Amino acid sequence: MSCRCARLVLIIICVIAVPFRSPAPLIYRPGEGWTYESVEGGGKWQRSRAKEQLEVAQTAFDKKDYSVGLKAARRVVRVWPLSDYAPQAQYLVGRCYEATGKDEKAFAEYQKVIEKQPKIANYQEIVQRQYDIANKYLAGKWFKLWGYIPIFSSMEKTSEMYQKIVKNGPYSEVAPQAQMKIGAAREKQSNYALAAKAYETAADRYHDRPQVAADALYKQALAYDKQAQTAEYDQSTAGQAIATFTDFMTLYPNDPRVADAQKIITTLKTEQARGSFEIAKFYEKYKRWNGAMVYYNEVIVLDANSRYAAPARQRIDELKKRVTASTK
């Protein structure tokens, strides 16, 4: 034990006694925070003019020195916020974050560019980058706590990203697909009502783009169908699904999905008939004969060929006899 202690003491003495150089001392600058900089470098990345400062940022970014590039670009935005160079610097801030995998921060920085300079020359590229980032989160990428610790996947936050993209420019190149992806995010939440609403917006807003509108209308109907499957005895959503599928088939009769739409409608009508049949049984259980007959009759009206139609007719005949007997 004494030998081990002696060795430990010797190691500590050597560490203290042998001088070593810190490759990057910690420097604090107001508005820029704590950063590491080489002793030789000092503040060589700083310039006294916005144009020259932006050049430093761009050069560092091109060399993949994202730490310096980020600091230099942020300094342009902070020191010369109204200069002609601020928008490009703000864009570079986003690029540096994106290049280092900090996608959520990158999205936010791109958003600042769009909000402050909506007519910036590379507008389409910026919203495309936002769209690509949002797609990562739709695919399951986790959001980070304090920007560093991945802790959760959120379709709510992902949907908000797509909403910002659409709001930035409803008729930009990526806006139609961003609107569609809002629906996809809502479906992943199993919030089919909001998903259907998002698809409906896409179908209405981009009706002049047949491919987008057809896809939106079909997915809207599918969302209603999924909602109908989760709503016990709620026939309204099934009816909305049937109506939307019918609109789809009417507007796009040559779409290859028409046959699938027709099959789903048949299934939905059968489900509607089942729902009405169950409601009728409920009324019959409590001897409310007239109410039961209304719903048994609805079974036949909804789908006269379903497996519920024949039993419904039998029950109607039986209940008529009971009603007649009770009135005598």
Q: Which long-range contacts link 228-233 to residues 24+ away (Cβ below 8 Å)?
A: 228/268, 228/271, 229/271, 230/190, 230/192, 233/275, 233/278, 233/279
Give the pLDDT confidence score for residue 261 in this predicted structure: 97
DSSP 142: P
Between strands 26-29 and 33-36, the pairing is antiparallel
Indicate the Cα dihedral angle 56, 59, 65, 69, nearest 10°.
40
**What is the tens place of the pLDDT at every residue in 30-65?**
544 444 444 334 468 999 999 999 999 999 999 999
Weakly modelled stretches of the chain, pLDDT under 50 = 1, 4, 8-9, 14-25, 31-42, 233
pTM of the model: 0.77
Confidence (pLDDT) at 1: 45
Distances in whole angstroms, Cα of residue 223 to Cα of each of 46, 138, 146, 195, 238? 54, 18, 35, 6, 10
Model pLDDT, residue 228: 86
pLDDT at 28: 52
Nearest to 293 by CA among 318, 265, 310, 272: 318
What's the pLDDT at 274? 84
Distances (CA, A) of 178 to 113, 160, 207, 231, 245: 19, 11, 15, 28, 23
> Tell me, what's the pLDDT at 304?
85
Question: Which pLDDT belongs to residue 20?
Answer: 41
What is the pLDDT, as a whole number, of residue 42? 42
pLDDT at 17: 46
Sequence-separated (6 or more) residues with CB below 8 Å from residue 132: none
The closest alpha carbon to 160, from 192, 132, 186, 188, belongs to 186
> Cβ-count burial of 182 within 10 angstroms (0-12 exposed, 13-18 middle, 19+ buried)?
buried
- Cα–Cα nearest to 212, from 197, 199, 222: 199
